[in-house]
Amino acid sequence: MALTFRGAVEQDVERIVEMLADDLLGKERERYAQPLPASYLEAFQAIDADPNNELIVAVDGTGRIIGVQQVTFTPHLTHQGSWRATIEGVRTDSTVRGQGIGGQLIRYAIGRAKERGCRLIQLTTDKQRPDALRFYEGLGFTATHEGMKMKLEATEL
């Protein structure tokens, strides 16, 4: 399927949240509602204002957003003071999963990382998503580290 990739705009946020909420884990942690919680627009504005963050949407031939990912570029003292890219929040519309859209999204992110001079690209995938792990391995990623997270108490949204 031929796709166009572009930076997300504020009008895309509702569609992005819809995709984030439309999976096993997302439906438990996202709040896709009308009106959309203000926290999503605030997060979008912070991402959009940061030159080291890109919220990228994949658009099909009809103009419909069918994929999204966030790529964050970070300078590090490790690896001889190089930059790395982190891919997060990768989702494709549930009606087109399995059609190669995710692979195109990730290859686009890899291209952006190369353009930005990154020497490393990283991502995490939830252990409850074994298919995602195989997907990323098929694209050349290797599970070289054990990742850890700590949830912090959120303020009332």
Taking the chain (157 residues) in consecutive chunks of 10 residues, what is each chunk's mean pLDDT? 94 96 83 92 98 98 97 95 96 92 96 97 89 92 89 71
What pLDDT is attached to residue 102?
94
What pLDDT is attached to residue 28?
78
Q: Compute CA 56 distance to the chain's CA centroid, rounded to the nearest angstrom.
A: 8
pTM of the model: 0.90
Compute the half-sphere exposure of residue 128: CA atoms within 13 Å on the CB side of its CA.
4
Q: Three-state DSSP class for 84?
A: strand
What pLDDT is attached to residue 27?
78
- How far, in Å, CA of 1 to CA of 89, rounded? 21
Q: What secondary structure letter does DSSP report for 119? A: E
* β-pair type (4-7, 83-92): unpaired
Residue 100 neighbours by CB under 8 Å, 6+ apart: 1
Shortest CA distance to 48 belongs to which of 98, 79, 9, 81? 9
What pLDDT is attached to residue 155?
65
Inter-residue contact 123 to 87 (CB < 8 Å): yes
Q: Which domains does the chain have, with CATH numbers?
A: 4-138 (3.40.630.30)
Q: What secondary structure letter does DSSP report for 63? A: S
Beta-bridge mates of residue 68: 57, 91
What pLDDT is attached to residue 25?
78
Compute the half-sphere exposure of residue 154: CA atoms within 13 Å on the CB side of its CA.
5
- How far, in Å, CA of 26 to CA of 28, rounded? 5
What pLDDT is attached to residue 67?
97
- How far, in Å, CA of 23 to CA of 92, rounded? 10
